[in-house]
Chains A and B, each alone.
Chain A
Amino acid sequence: MTDWQSIVATHSAVVWRTVYRLLGNHQDAADCFQETFLSALDVARRQTVRSWPAMLTCLATARAMDRVRQRMRDRSRSVDVAELASAASPEPGPEQQAETADLVRMFRELIVLLPDRQAQVFCLRYVSEMSYREIAREMALKTSDVGVLLHRIHARLRELVKPAGGPSGLEVTP
């Protein structure tokens, strides 16, 4: 097995999981998976990779965010609600499934309203559950800056979702 085969085999699961969770769509996830490894190849040929899983998670998140944005621009493609509805915890009732699907969709709609870098940091922290240190290392930030950035993101999100009627209020329609 070559080094590259070994890298793809070792990290395919984490990349797949990252892109699928953010996209919730099989075809998009497959495309994004490919794009992630192509980006990784490009990075690896230019610089030393200190941590493949962290680098791939970052790239996968960034590529998935791109795709979510693209999807938002093209409203004709909507999230497969039925697919998301099964996202609930064990044996959820229909009400809980609907609520979970709502939350997932809201998350995606909100996150694309953030600037690229903020969206990426937010996903890395709360979806991929990377530590501040890992995020800082991969995104060339100071560890304390990650905390500051997340604080700003929270403030921005609060701004975005403040009660409907305001200028930047967001109402989510199922």
Chain B
Amino acid sequence: MSKFEPEKIHLAAKAVRDVPVPAGPPPEVLAAAVAAGKPFEADIHAMIVQRRRYLMKSIARIAAAIVLASGLVLGSYALLVHSPTVAFAQVRDLIEQMQTMTCRIHLSQPAAEGRPMDLDIRASYSLPHLMRQEIAMAGLPGTLINIYDFQAGKAITLNAAEKTATVLNLGQLPPELLKKTQNFAEEMKRLVQKDGAPIGRETIGETDAVGFRVTNEGVATDIWVDAAKGETVLLVEMDLPGQGHVRITDIAINPPLDAALFSLAVPAGYRETAPLDIPLENLTEDDLVAGLRFLAENNDNAFPVAPNMTPKIMRNLGQKHQPAAGLTDDEIARNIAAAQAEIGTRIGRLRVFLQLNTGTFRYAGDGVKLGDAAAPVCWYKPKGAALYRVIHGDLSVADVAEADLPKIETPPPARQVPQAGPTVKISPTEKTTGSWNTDTDGWDIEGATALSLAAMMYGASEHQTAADSPLPQGHFNVQIRASRKGESFGELRGAGQQALVQQLGLAVSREPRKMGVYLLQAPHGKPDALRPTSGGWKSSSGGTGGQARTVHNMSISEALTPCLANRLGRPVLDETGIKGAYDYRVALPAEGGFEAIAKAVRDGLGLELVPAERELDVLIVKWNGQPLKSGPANESRP
């Protein structure tokens, strides 16, 4: 008989670890395990594909952040280099006193595989060196927020959908680039003296506008200004040769902007991922060559339509960095961070180099094979040099006199022929179960009521949407199709909004209104039922038909209040004061009204639901009584 001493437990564990394990499992056992999964292969595959997509998007998101980081002063650049003309003294005065600016920028790069890499950016500037961009990008759900402090050489990129924050260390930015922002007002004063050639009158929105074209360093920019007063810049359009078309609207000069908009601190509720070092200093021609090589190698060994990321390159990079099925999250995170840093550095340095040489840089590489020594890809003239530097498909560089440069077509004028917009078709349906699918080719909405359509098109909660008149009866299918050129999420939504007016006769506005709500409160502080999350993927599932709703790594307002609002048919406001993400479960009854649900929330989570009245921003929908337009008129082309 032997007694076991407590101290021996670790020895015992070691003995178990050291148990010799024979080779195994036997082949028939292994085969049986594989066979067991056969019926579910599609499910498993779908799950893995979903995860890979997520990871690819993670790579794509940081690529987007970097592309834009390297664009730096894209929005202000357009106004900086090509400002309104002498005809508009008031505009000039405004610009001279400019301290802040907000605008909306649409960047449309040349189409690759029929899909341009369109970006919709809401930009805010606090001069001389702070910038914030809120970006909607074709193919990426949600909004990406980038905040830059050019002087500090730092940026932070916030993924609003996933509540993650990544700090980008950009190093000391090239002084020439900083000068452009720091001497903004001075440079503007000089440039506003430039003459612009009148290009006509147009109605922009509801305003009569006059346009002028300013050409500077080979880049044509059209500026449209309020014709009556000349005190508002309505629209700026410019072509960056071979790189894309920039359209800037909704320009406001010197609006009051909260300093918090430009804070580089990680916002509360955001998870900070590992910072990325994307050094953008000490740029040389080698960075241009290395960047071009990187793009070509990831574009099936051919140079892309523009010296920038394209959907194809992003897809190829996503596949290249796809994690193996068996990697741990930590290994995957490390691989992604390495890929992001590589992409950021290569593309970032390339883009900033181009930014510094915009005036003389020309790109003609579309389709040139990597290694083709005879085909020129691009050229530029270094500052102070007599000769141009021409880079060929084999990435060799030659000095060439201006007269001997490859001939390319003159860039088209900035003002483009208006493109056909998305088409929208609304039709009645018997289907009453709503569904909404979106991708970059368009949206398909089925079985929606007029009220829910308005809520979808205006991004509002249906519980905060109210009808101020009888609305069209029944349910509707809506198809929004992108034109062949492709549209951004915002443009598709805009087309949908216009179709609601034209086809359904709806008028939509927003106003504050008092309405019945439920308040979610935590009278006893944070309940134990909210378990600290172990992190990782956010998920919220179940909760219907009496099933428990299981939430992982999500806050109260992200998962619980929307779920309760859906069940209760009223907005539910989070007044718990509980911040952060948690793991939790709550079993909501399959049937029953407020009392039953409030009890379930109280018993399951220790939280209280209290009826109340609050003033909320409500989407108001009215109908003019017109029947749904049918036939050919059924399609809107805004």
Kindly list chain B residues whose C-beta atoms are within 8 Å of the C-beta of A162: 6
Cβ-based interface call for B403 (8 A): no
Kindly list chain A residues whose C-beta atoms are within 8 Å of the C-beta of B24: 16, 20, 26, 29-30, 33
Contact among B9, B327, B536 for A157, CB-based, below 8 A = B9
Cβ-based interface call for A148 (8 A): no
Kindly list chain B residues whose C-beta atoms are within 8 Å of the C-beta of A140: 531, 534, 583
Kindly list chain A residues whose C-beta atoms are within 8 Å of the C-beta of B25: 12, 15-16, 29-30, 33
- Are A170 and B4 in contact (CB-based, < 8 A)? yes
Cβ-based interface call for B272 (8 A): no
Chain A min CB distance to B12 (Å): 4
- Are B329 and A50 in contact (CB-based, < 8 A)? yes
Query: Mask for B117-147, Cβ within 8 A of A = 1, else 0?
Result: 0000000000000000000000000000000
- Are B36 and A107 in contact (CB-based, < 8 A)? no
- Are A41 and B16 in contact (CB-based, < 8 A)? no
Contact among B16, B47, B327 for A44, CB-based, below 8 A = B47
Cβ-based interface call for B592 (8 A): no
Chain A min CB distance to B54 (Å): 9
Per the CB 8 Å criterion, the residue count for chain A at the interface is 71
Kindly list chain B residues whose C-beta atoms are within 8 Å of the C-beta of A11: 326
User: Which residues, 287 to 306 on B, are CB-close (under 8 Å) to A?
Assistant: none
- Are A21 and B29 in contact (CB-based, < 8 A)? no
Tell me, in angstroms, the Cα distance from A7 to B38 when the chains sit together: 12
Contact among A10, A87, A126 for B18, CB-based, below 8 A = A87
Interface centre among B6, B25, B38, B44 (most CB of A within 10 A): B25
In the complex formed, the residue of B with least CB distance to A14 is B326
Kindly list chain B residues whose C-beta atoms are within 8 Å of the C-beta of A41: 36-37, 40, 44
Query: Mask for A25-57, Cβ within 8 A of B = 1, else 0?
Result: 010011001100110010011011111111000
- Are A110 and B4 in contact (CB-based, < 8 A)? yes
- Are B537 and A4 in contact (CB-based, < 8 A)? no
- What class of interface size applies to chain B in its complex with A? 35 or more
Kindly list chain B residues whose C-beta atoms are within 8 Å of the C-beta of A22: 16
Kindly list chain B residues whose C-beta atoms are within 8 Å of the C-beta of A127: 13, 16-17
Tell me, in angstroms, the Cα distance from A173 to B4 when the chains sit together: 10
Kindly list chain A residues whose C-beta atoms are within 8 Å of the C-beta of B32: 34
Cβ-based interface call for B385 (8 A): no
Kindly list chain B residues whose C-beta atoms are within 8 Å of the C-beta of A17: 21
Cβ-based interface call for A72 (8 A): no
Kindly list chain A residues whose C-beta atoms are within 8 Å of the C-beta of B5: 161
Cβ-based interface call for A3 (8 A): yes
Tell me, in angstroms, the Cα distance from A164 to B2 when the chains sit together: 10
Looking at chain A's contact residues, is the secondary structure mostly helix, strand, loop, or mixed? helix
Cβ-based interface call for A129 (8 A): yes
- Are B17 and A129 in contact (CB-based, < 8 A)? yes
- Are B539 and A142 in contact (CB-based, < 8 A)? no
Query: Mask for A67-96, Cβ within 8 A of B = 1, else 0?
Result: 000000000000000001011110000000
Chain A min CB distance to B583 (Å): 6
Cβ-based interface call for A163 (8 A): yes
**A158-B6 CB under 8 A given contacts A7-B44, A41-B37, A141-B534:** yes
Kindly list chain A residues whose C-beta atoms are within 8 Å of the C-beta of B50: 48
Cβ-based interface call for B408 (8 A): no
Cβ-based interface call for B459 (8 A): no
User: Which residues, 13 to 29 on B, are CB-close (under 8 Å) to A?
Assistant: 13, 15-22, 24-26, 29
Q: Hey, which bits of chain B sit against chain A, CB under 8 A?
A: 1-6, 8-13, 15-22, 24-26, 29-30, 32-34, 36-38, 40-41, 43-45, 47-48, 50-51, 324-329, 531-532, 534-537, 539, 541, 583
Q: A34-B32, A48-B51, A161-B9 are in contact. List 20 more A-B contacts (CB 8 A).
A: A3-B325, A6-B326, A10-B324, A15-B25, A20-B22, A33-B24, A41-B36, A45-B47, A49-B51, A50-B329, A51-B329, A53-B326, A103-B16, A106-B4, A108-B16, A127-B13, A137-B329, A140-B534, A161-B4, A172-B1
Sample of 13 A–B contacts (CB below 8 Å):
A3-B45, A8-B34, A16-B24, A20-B21, A33-B24, A45-B47, A47-B541, A52-B326, A84-B19, A100-B15, A154-B6, A170-B4, A171-B1
Q: List the 7 shortest-distance A-B pairs measured between CB atoms, nearest first.
A: A4-B37, A126-B13, A107-B12, A10-B326, A103-B15, A142-B532, A37-B33
